[in-house]
Amino acid sequence: MSIKANIKKILFILVWCIAGAGALALLVAAINMKNSKTCKRYSIEINEKGRPLFIDQKLVLNILTTNNSEKIVGKEIASFDLRKMEEKLKKNAWVRDAQLFFDNTQTLRINITERQPIARVFTTGGSSFYIDSGCVQLPLPGSVHLRLPVFTNFPREKIKLSGPDSALSDQIRKLSGFIIKAPFWMSDIEQLNITQERKFEIVPLIGNHVIEFGDGNDYEKKFHRLFVFYREVLSKTGFDRYSKIDVQYSGQVIGTKRGGNISRSDSLQAVKNILQLIKSTRQLQADTVKQNTKPLEHNTITEQTLTNYDLITTNEDSVEKKGNKK
């Protein structure tokens, strides 16, 4: 390589070094200039402009300023420890995430994401709390009451994210998430009891029976079988005919009949209630397969058998079976 080529290479490297040093100097100067400025204002946003549940701007300020003993506006930007302030906010049980930064207008942006409870849990020891979608245990604020799925007889006073209890907590999370998204079940389920075997018993609002649900596995299929049984069987026989309905076994529904007579008025009222509940939800879908009807008096009804029923309302107080049209 010639001397001339070496000189060009050296000059090229030198120019880039000078340019890089200049850019670094400008960056440092800009940072120093920014840090020497003071905070002009602050902006607090909770849940991306959504409606806050348990956190408000006053609480956020109290946390950041230790009950207004510190100032934000007028304080030098360089003196803010934003990471420490974020961690301070996250110590609050209802804060899922906190992001703090300064924009170009010297405004401190405080963005808060609140935890969203999905279930209320009652323990065997008598305590109660909410949990969110991450199974994080949340306290019960005295001023706000949320309509959420209720689980009773939880075996521990605190939620654990590891060990045997973690599986139960995860099943509660999944079941509750499903119920919240299904208007029919949100309207019909009063509570879900946890048995000693860590299975679930559902207590409905309509009818005097208990639903043996089993564990939280295959919950969508179980709820589907139960819904079809409600729609095709109980809406005709009345909701007090069975004392127990078992959906925990794959592909079938097992009904245990209640002894004694049931008054016609109570039976008709139960039919009215469930028909109204079904109509009021968007979960109901019409069956596309219509076959000859079969007796309703079987104690064991399979999922395949249930699809053979097609109920049509004939008047306010009754329903009748409709077979295939030839």
Q: Model confidence over 66-86: pLDDT tens digits?
A: 867 678 998 999 889 999 999
Check if the beta carbon of residue 251 is closer than 8 Å to that of residue 295: no
Mean pLDDT, the chain, whole residue set = 76
Q: Higher pLDDT residue, 26 or 83?
A: 83
Q: What is the pLDDT of residues 188-246, one digit of tens each?
A: 899 999 999 999 999 998 888 899 999 999 999 999 999 999 888 887 777 778 889 99
Q: Higher pLDDT residue, 19 or 158?
A: 158
- What stretch(es) of the chain map to CATH 3.10.20.310? 41-114
Token representation of residue 218: 């295959």
Q: What is the pLDDT of residues 120-172, one digit of tens each?
A: 999 999 899 999 988 899 998 777 778 899 999 999 888 876 667 788 999 99
Question: For the chain, what percentages of helix, strand and coil (3-state, to nearest 5) are there?
Answer: 35, 25, 40
**Quick check: 260 pLDDT over 60?**
no
- The region of weakest confidence among 141-145, 173-177, 263-267 is 263-267
Q: Higher pLDDT residue, 208 or 319?
A: 208
Handedness of CA 88, 91, 93, 99 (dihedral sign): positive
| pLDDT value of position 30 | 58
Q: Which residues contact 255 (CB under 8 A, 6 or more apart)?
A: 229, 233, 241, 242, 244, 245, 246, 299, 300, 301
Q: Which fold has domain 41-114?
A: Ubiquitin-like (UB roll) (3.10.20)
